[in-house]
Structures are given as structure tokens and as C-alpha cells.
Structure 1
Amino acid sequence: MSDSKGTDAGKAPAKTTKYDAVIVGAGFAGMYMLHKLRGMGLNAHVFEAGSDVGGTWFWNRYPGARVDIESQEYSFSFSKDLEEEWQWTERYAPQGELLDYANHIADRFDLRRDISFNTRVESARYDDQSGLWRIMTDQGETIEARYCVMATGCLSAAKTPDIPGAGNFKGETLSTATWPDDTDLAGKRVGIIGTGSSGIQTITTIAPQVEELYVFQRTPNYSVPAHNRPLDPAVREDWLANREDYRQQQRESGIGIVALEAGEDLALEQSEEDRQREFERRWAKGGFCVGAPYADTGVDPAANKLLADFVAGKIRGIVKDPHTADLLIPKTYPFGTKRLVVDTGYFEVYNQDNVHLIDLNETPIETITETGLRTSERDYEFDTLIYAIGFDAMTGALDRIDIRGRDGLKLKDKWAAGPLTYLGLTVSGFPNMFMITGPGSPSVLSNMIVSIEQHVDWIADCIHDMGERQLTVVEATPEAEAEWVAHVNEIADTTLYPQANSWYLGANVPGKPRVFMPYVGGVGVYREVCDEVAANGYKGFTLSRAPAEAS
């Protein structure tokens, strides 16, 4: 990791600084956007709340944190040299290695000189007359830029506990979203609330270390085996030898993952024997491919139930106690309609004598106490309490910035009934503001690196085309936005996704509107739509010059 930490924060307020583009966030999206715009000769700058690059992989340091997509697929394709020189060590890269990768990118492309760390963007306001964005930071800085790119991440706004008595606990309180590096849980009594991805990864990792582990579960999650292991050199050799083909397959696929092996046959047309053979083959392979054996499992309840029953059988075969196994099997939503968790021995953990599963549907939490927590049944005492309660997904990070477009319109007000976007890239009434993997794009239903690259390339091309035409304002029309939102919902309604109260709908945040946010049509189809929009003179956008320049 480089010792360079970018521009120092904490200086006295200075005069207004001007850039061609401001980028908010120095995760993978923000870094690639900076690299791309600099390559075009633009003066771009990134503002990052953290002390270094990495985004998701900078903040999420909880035990067992790792990516759920195979390492070589969860990597950038824009630089062949980068791809050839970086060597992954595991089939599914752990958090530390992903952070090393992010730092390597920052060093290799000398990105830190254009990043201000420890600096949070507090507001971004569009000036109708000049066509510029005015950005204010928590360091008292004022910045003006023609373009504002929000690379704030889809899972970056951590939820805060809304449980009665949340501040009462006198012991050690931890959150998977802000995990300290020096934590040692060995020999401690630990309670953990939440069994989503971060909860499952944490539980699996700490269970062998702690004295007692109490897992408080409201909704069980479908989890499939990763079969993680050191990366076979043959896998790397094959990937590099067929790099162009694999990368093209990613770009044209449904979710940007070659290893998904999305089935095209229908489950209901197969014999019982053939179905079981395919289910077993995929379970043995592991990862997301378990969830895509047939084309109808995501749209037909009967087909979905066949796969759900198979996975339920696997859980019962692993967990020795029948009652515990039953509690771990989801029953309130179809298989795959919440993001699958890819685990490294999660269900096996419940065969340990020191691990206890508490069903919060049967015995809800009444309050956090000074020594632990109280359910409707009894008191529990711990040394450490862990919150693994997730994020305000997709829109949360943007909601926490005071973003105002034309005539002072607040983005939060515009999105009060749910996010409205055109292509998940832009918002009508907010000219020259782009979002990377925003709501209304494949985003969290895809390999994020593939979607990030596609969005960054499209945004960069749009900015380039604006310059070529000597235009300075690009804005989605209300009509195009309304049509796209309707299309996103129409596609979602053809699937089983809306049947789950998932964070895809914002269901994990009290009071948040229930709107299915990602685009389900697939990254390949979506790419074609975006390319067609650009090829047709940016159909659905108005391109113009700012009034101050036009007059």
C-alpha cells in the first residue's frame, strides 16, 4: 500500500476550486471514473469520506468478509496489463486481498494525487444559469464543476440500530459496517443480530473462536456453498488465454458472471432424475450457479419450489438438530429473490455446542439491556454485541447528501415515493449529474465490476460527445424517465423478485417506499439499450448550452 494519502483534509476554508468533473467516492467506481476522465484530458477530482481507496472493501472489515463472485471475474477488464500482472490467491477473494487490489490500482495509475480523503461531500447544488454544480464538503471547501458523478456505492450507507434500548449495552458493541481492526473475540460470549450476508460471514468465522455465540435471526437466508480454496493456477491460465471471449460473455450475459452457467431449459419439462442430477452438479460446483439451473426458476413459482425444496433438503442434511434446521430454511419468499449468500461452512456452524439460534419471530427482542438483550422469552447476557443489520441500499448514500437540481429541487423530495431515474444513470431535473450503478440499472443484480465499467465508459463517452458538440448541459427528459421507470417495474413484475421483502425493494428500512430498484432485464440487454440511446443522439435527453454561455 502506498504511503501517499492524497490531498490533506482539515485545512482552513479556501476560495472556490474549479474542476471539469467532481466524483464522489473512491471505491472501484470512483477510481475508474477518475482514470477515464483524466485520460480524456479533463481536470477531475474525487472526494472520499474514508482515509483511503477501496469503498466497500475499505469499510467492510468484519471477520470472514469476502466477495461472492469468483476472483478473476470480479476484476477490471479495461487494462490487459493490470489483468496479467495481478494474481489472485483464492477462488473467492477475501476483503484484505480486494483492498490490496484497490490500492494496487490507485498506485499503478497514480490516482491518489487527485483524491481528497477524509472529506465528506455534504451538499451538491446545481446552478441553472451557469450550468455548474456547486459542491460543499465537511472541510469547508467550495467546489464548482461542470459534471458531478456520484460513485457513492450501493451498499455504503449503514443502517443504525432502531431497537429499543440500543444505547444501553455496557459491553463491547460492534457493527459489521464499521468493524475495528484490533478486535479479539476469543473466549467471549457474543450476541449477533442479523443473518444477511455480513452476518453469515461473521458467524461462520467467529463461531470456532468464541465461548458462546447467540444468533438472533428474524428472516433466514438462502445460502449456498462457495467451496472456496486456493486458486488453481490452471484457472488463471485459462482465464488469460481466453480473456477476450470471457469478458465479452460477461458483457452480454444476464448478470455479468460467466461461471453462472445460466440454464436455458425449463425445470418443469425435465424428469425428476435429470433435475436432481443438475441440482447436485451445481451444488458441488458452488456459488451463484446453484441459483440458475433452469430458465423458469426465477419466474415460475412451481419451478422455483423444486429448487427451494432441494436446498432445504441440503440444509436438513447438514444441520443435525431438526428444529434448528427448520428455523434456518426460508419459508416466506421464493428462492433467489433475496441475494443468495455464498458461504464457507455456515450451516455446519449450528452443529457446534456453543452456537445457539434464536428465532425473533417466535420470541421478539423487547429491549437491549446493560448486559445483553431481552426477548419476550428471557434475558441473554454477552461480553460483545454485534449488529449485522445491513444498509440503506442503492439510495441511502445519496439521501445523506443535500443534492438539489433545477430550481432548488431536492433529490430526496423527488424520490420521496421511490427513486426515479433514466437508465439508472441520470435524473430528470438534475442536469450533468450521473450516478454509477444507480437505481434503475442492473447494479446489485449483477457483477458490480462489469456494471461499473459499462457505466463509467458510457458517462465518459457522453461527456466527450458533449465537448465535441460544444454543448454543456445534458439532462434526461421527464417523459424518458417515466417510461424507463415503468419499464423497470414491468420487467420486475414478470419475475418472482417482488415477492420478497428484500433490500432490493428497500423493505429493510422502516418508512422507505417499497419500489423494486434494480433492473432485472440483464446486463447484456441493458448495455444494448444504453448504446442505442447514445447512437440515436442521446434519445431521451436534452442537450444544450447553459444560459450564461448561450446568451
Structure 2
Amino acid sequence: MGSTSERASERAEYDALIIGAGFGGYSMLPRLRSLGLRVKLYERGSGPGGVWFWNQYPGARVDSDAPVYQLFDKELWEDFTFSERFPGRRELQRYFAHVEKKWDLRKDIEYCKNVESADWDSTRCRWLITCSDGTEAECKWMILAMGSSSKTYIPNIKGSSDFRGELYHTAHWPYYGASLKNKRIAVIGTGASGIQVIQESGKQSKHLTVYQRTPNLCLPMSQRKLDPVEEQKKKDTGIYAEAFSKCERTPGGVLYESADKNTFDDTPEERERFYQSLLKDGGLQFWVSGYKDAMTDQKANDAAYDFWRRMVLKRINNPAKGELLAPEIPPHPYGAKRPSLEQNYFEVMNQDNVDIIDVNRFPIEELNATGVKTAAGQVDVDMIIFATGFDALTGGFKDIQIRGTDGRTLTQHWEEGVKTSIGIAVPKFPNMFYLFGPQAPSTFTNGPSCIQSQARWIAKVVEKLENDKIESFEATEASADEWLEMVREKWDATLFSKGKISLPVSLLWWSGANIPGKKVQPLSWAGGLPTYMQMLERSLENHYQGWHTSHLIEKNAPNGTTNRAGH
């Protein structure tokens, strides 16, 4: 084995290293390059797209309306138009290829590059990066852009290795595809990926069994093709530009926000018409654009749920299935779990060849050679699909052993709960920023809106720090403590933490409780994107108040160490 000095000489050296080639990585790379920095992006997959590289399961598509689910730069959107209101995975892949080519990003990206560890060198103010292929790199600035859904969750069910049929997780669907036609299929989970894969399975399978823990209070997608001529007119007349601008001014980073009135300001007839209009428009509008008290007042929330339930039951002629899919007593306040979008979900679930098993009543006891066993009996299947989601928001950080100033890993720091500074940095981890992660607006916003706002701020900060000759930039413990309390206050002001429910809201993946042993806590900022960005800007006032900064006075001190002056 070579000496430490020999290995150091073999390390690639960058000013900034970005991890992840999704919207976050593609937002950061050109911004940091424009500052004249040497930048490299590492991506463990073999192509771009982040979650849209890995999510290849049947029916995979986004739930944010076009055109806002993209980067807002005119240079990109002026000659690219999505063909559907809610683009599917293949079209999103085509979009990322367009961005990569348009901005000439490929030259600064290394695919199939899996980062295993990152260690902070306090002496030199550099991150030392090690990859699973044995290569090493060092950088001053490390940007984590793994996103919220980079670590899958598969429950530990007895006998999983005994099943002799096909077994997949939606986020690890085989690249070559897997046929659903005329098969007996079991789908475990009814989150967003579950809804989408169930719709496809129900159309093709011989028999489908859905294992449901919590009914998904999903909404009509109202999917439609987009007319390229009409979309071009919108571009030419400034409608696209205004749409992107508006996304940065609304709490959810979308084109709509809640109505400026409370539920019972309207008469019952007026409420019915209003609810009907939201449902007809489709997408997430019934959730986002409803009455402003819907997520703070239980009676107002009940009114929204009662309307939603009546509309769903009209589509189901089997009373037993209706009670499982739209129960009289809501499983949680409406909107306290992100509703998925569906195209024909309830019609599929209503089919005679589809069964629903309530795993609260009949827990899965084991998987065996031929299928799934619960107290309700054995179901033999040819394929099992885990639609069990992710260790969201924090899981991707655990895949990398990130070691900070005190020698402890980020995972160790977060064992007793996540604590960040304004959802973008962590005390003890200098010169490290992350995008679309814990305690930022993240899951409560349109992804590209949040990511691009954060990326602009990070680029602005890095430029200022470089100009000020600052070598080390670290969030203070006090700022993180303050932010933690603010996140809790915003969360507790909503029905996320209270309300008349039959199942605890603590089951929400938003709070981390879907992962056994994970601390349950608010993991997203519920105060809206504009307020969040104001907080970030304010954190830089008064000579970097809320941050530790250090200058390297001499990079080659006589004794071989580095002298530092702190603020």
C-alpha cells in the first residue's frame, strides 16, 4: 500500500463536488461553474434524472403539473415542451438528456460513481471523498443533492428470501422491464408508487391482491395531452415566464394556493360548488387550493373529507371495498398525508379480479415459496411488488459515511433526531450544503421550485465566501436549535400533529415513522417556500450571524500546520 502522501497525490482535486444528478445536481453544476470554480458531479447511477433514473416501474409519472416541473431557465424551456400535463418517467428522461446537452454538463459528470465516505480535514479545510471503486477526491465545497427519495425501504418480512416467483421494489424495477400480463400479482403498499403500479397491474394481471395499511385519499389526475402549438403561444406571450415566477411566490411552489376564506364562510351549496370545481380541475388543487382553514380546523377538514368520500363512493359498487378505500371515519386528517393522483384507481380496485387485504386487521405473517400469508389466509402469486416507499429525506445521507469536525458521522449526530440550520446545512459539518432534504420545505413544495431557490442561495453564498477569502463556513448550534423549534411550531399549528383520527399521524413518512426505529419528528418546513427563503437570506445578515467562519492566514505555515482566524 502506498504512503499517505502518495495517495493524496492521486486524489482528484476540485473546488466543489456535487453528489447526485437529479434536479439538485443539475441546478448546482452550472451555477458553480459560472463562478469559475472547478466542479465535478458524482452520480451512482449510469444516467441522469435522480429519482427519475431509478423509478422505472409501470405507470411512473410526476404529480406536479407541466410546465412547472422543470428548471425555470428560458434557455431550456424555449425549445422543450412536455407532451402531457403530468409527464411520465420516459419523458422526464428525455428532458434530463435535453438539459445535459443544452448546458454541456456531461463533461463535468461521472456516472457509476458511488460515494462511500466524506471526511472533513480541519487542517486544510477540505472534504476528503472516497468512492466504492477505490478512487479518492478532495474539495472545498460539498453539495449533497441526493434528494428526498434515494434510499428505498423494504420491510423485514419473514420468508422474503423463500419466494420462488418474481419480487421487486418499485424503485428497483428491472431496467429491461417485467411483464405484468396474465400474472397473479401482490402489491404491498398504497402510496404514490403503489397507486400507479396498481393501475397498470389491474389492467393486465390475471388477479391482483393489494395489501393496504392506510387508504390513499387520492385525487383525480385529470391527465391530458398538451397541444404543442398552444404551449408555444404560452411561451411567446410570457405565460410560461410568469408561471415560473409565480412558483417562487406561493407557499407550495406551484401555480395555485389556498382560497382566501374559511370553510364555513360559504353556504353548504357554495362549498359544494367550490369543492366540485377543485376536483374537476384535477391535480393537487383540492388539497392545495382549498379553504385556508382546512389544515388547521378539524371541522373544516372533516367537511373536505366528507365531500371527497362521497365522490369516491360513487365510483365503487362494492360496499366492503368502499369502506376500505374511503372509510366513514377518516384514517387521518385530509391532507395530513400527501394525496396521490390517480387516473382510474378506484375503477381498478372495483374490479372482480382485484382483492384488498387490510394489513391492520390481517398483518402479513410471512412470505413463502408460493406467495403471501396473513391471518386471512394464503394468497399464491407469481409476482410480489413492494411499493413501500423510502427512508425519506434522511435515508440518502446514511448511505454515505460523512464525518465532521468532531470525528462523528452525520448518522451519529442524527441518532437522537435530525437537527439542521434552515434545512440546508448542519453544525459540525463545514462547507457542506444539501438540497431538498430534511427541515426544508421539500415535500410540501413542487420539487424544482424549492431546489432552484436553494441552489441560487448556495451559489450566492459560495461566491461571497470566495470573495471574502473565507475557507470554512459552518452553521452554529444555536442557529440549528432555533430552526428546530421553528419547524416544530409550524408543524404543531396544523392538523399534522392533532385531530380526530383512527390511525396516528405518526405513521406518516413525512415524520419518519414509516421506518422502524427512526425518531418521529417533523422533517419538513410547513411555513411555505417564500418565508423559508426569507429566513435563508436573513441568516447572512450582520457579518454571517448564525455561522462560524474561518480564514486560512497561511496555507503553508513553517511547522506544516495551518493557522486559522475565526469569527
TM-score (norm 2): 0.92
Does 2:190 match 1:195?
Answer: yes
1:412 corresponds to which letter in structure 2?
Answer: T
State the AA in 2 paired with 1:71.
A
Shift in Å, 1:243? 3.1
Q: Is the 8 A contact 1:191 1:215 kept in 2?
A: yes
- 1:105 counterpart (93, 99, 103): 99
Residues 301/452 of structure 1: CA separation in 2 closer, same or farther (3 Å cut) = same
Question: Residue 69 in 1 paired to residue 64 in 2?
Answer: yes
Task: Name the CA distance, whole Å, in 2 between partners of 1:53 and 1:208.
Answer: 30
Question: Aligned equivalents of 1:350 and 1:480: distance in 2?
Answer: 48
Kindly state the Cα deviation for residue 156 of structure 1 after the two structures are TM-superposed: 1.1
1:145-201 superposed Cα distances (whole Å, 9 cap, x missing partner): 001110011011001231111111001111101111321111111111010000000
8 Å CA contact 2:215, 2:331 repeated in 1: no
2:19 corresponds, among 24, 28, 33, to 24
Q: Whole-Å Cα distance in 2 between the matches of residues 127 and 14 of structure 1?
A: 16
In structure 2, what is the equivalent of residue 267 of structure 1?
263
Question: Which residue of 507, 510, 518 corresponds with 1:504?
Answer: 510
Q: 1:23 to 1:182 in 2, by over 3 A?
A: same
Matched, 1:284 2:276: no
1:412-441 CA distances to partner (integer Å, 9 max, x unpaired)?
111112211001110011000001122111
1:71-103 CA distance string (max 9 Å, x none): 2011111x2121111011001001110111011
Q: Which runs of 5+ in 1 are unaligned?
A: 1-11
* Count of aligned pairs between the two proteins: 538
1:546 Cα offset (Å): 4.3
Distance 1:471 1:161 in 2: 45
Q: Which residue of 2 aligns with 1:310?
A: 307
Determine the structure 1 residue equivalent to 2:205.
Answer: 210
CA distance in 2, matches of 1:212, 1:313: 28
User: What's the CA shift string for 1:248-298, capped at 9, x where partnerless?
Assistant: 22111111000x342111002221111111000001111111113110001
Aligned partners of 1:13, 1:532: CA distance in 2, in Å? 39
Alpha-carbon distance in structure 2 between the residues aligned to 1:546 and 1:481: 25
2:161 is the alignment partner of 1:128: no
1:133-532 to 2 correspondences below 5 Å: 133-180=127-174, 181-233=176-228, 234=230, 237-238=233-234, 241-258=238-255, 260-291=256-287, 292-329=289-326, 331-499=330-498, 500=505, 501-532=507-538
When structure 1 is superposed on structure 2, of 367-376 and 225-234 the one drifting more is 225-234
Q: Secondary structure at the match of 1:85?
A: coil
Is the CA contact (8 Å cut-off) linking 2:81 and 2:231 kept in structure 1?
Answer: no
With 423-432 and 262-271 compared, the bigger mean Cα shift is at: 262-271
Alpha-carbon offset, residue 143 of structure 1: 0.8
Inter-partner Cα distance in structure 1 for 2:50 and 2:535: 28
1:7 corresponds in structure 2 to none
Contact 2:154 2:169 in 1 (8 A): no
Structure 1 CA distance, aligned partners of 2:334 and 2:207? 31
Identify if the C-alpha distance between structure 1 residues 64 and 491 changes in structure 2 by more than 3 Å, giving closer, same or farther. Answer: same
DSSP 3-state at the match of 1:90 = coil
C-alpha separation in 2, matches of 1:14 and 1:326: 66
C-alpha contact 1:451 1:523 (8 A) present in aligned 2: yes
Shift of 1:535: 4.5
Q: In 2, distance between residues paired with 1:13 and 1:92?
A: 48
Aligned to 2:90: 96
Whole-Å separation in 2 of the counterparts to 1:75 and 1:201: 21
Equivalent residues of 1:13, 1:139 under 8 A apart: no
Give the letter for the 1:411 counterpart: L
Partner of 1:9: none
Q: Is the 8 A contact 2:187 2:210 kept in 1?
A: yes
Instruction: Determine the C-alpha separation between the residues in 2 that align with 1:385 and 1:525.
Output: 43
Distance 2:10 2:365 in 1: 52
Which AA in structure 2 matches 1:194? G
CA distance in 1: counterparts of 2:233 and 2:496, whole angstroms? 37
Structure 2 Cα separation of the partners of residues 50 and 332 of structure 1: 37
| Helix, strand or coil at the partner of 1:392 | coil
Query: Which one-letter code corresponds to 1:306 in the other structure?
Result: A
Structure 1: which amino acid aligns with 2:219? Answer: V
Do 1:498 and 1:505's aligned partners in 2 also have CA atoms closer than 8 Å?
no
The gaps in structure 2 that reach 5 residues or longer are 1-6, 499-504, 556-561
**Hey, what does 2:501 align to over in structure 1?**
none
Alpha-carbon contact 1:131-1:547 (below 8 Å) kept: no
Amino acid at match of 1:524: P
Aligned CA RMSD, in angstroms, stands at 1.6
The amino acid across from 1:278 in the alignment is F
Of stretches 106-115 and 217-226 in structure 1, the one that deviates more from structure 2 is 106-115
Task: Tell me the CA shift for residue 371 of structure 1.
Answer: 0.2
Identity of aligned residues (%): 36
Report how far residue 528 of structure 1 moved.
Answer: 1.5
Report the CA distance shift for 1:453/1:378 in structure 2 as closer, same or farther (over 3 A): same
1:254 counterpart letter in structure 2: P
1:542 aligns with 2:559: no
Correspondence 1:36-75 to 2 at 5 A: 36-75=31-70
TM-score by length of 1: 0.95
**Aligned equivalents of 2:424, 2:487: Cα separation in 1:** 13
How big is the shift at 1:497?
A: 1.7
**Aligned mates of 1:375, 1:441 — CA distance in 2:** 39
- Aligned partner of 1:3 in structure 2 is none
SS at match of 2:417: coil
- Which secondary structure state, in structure 2, belongs to the residue aligned with residue 464 of structure 1? helix
Corresponding residue number in structure 1 for 2:4: none
Letter in 2 for 1:38: R
The answer as to whether partners of 1:128 and 1:407 remain within 8 angstroms in 2 is no
What CA distance in whole angstroms lies between the structure 2 residues aligned with 1:107 and 1:183? 30
SS at match of 2:152: coil
2:78–2:235 CA contact under 8 A, matched in 1: no
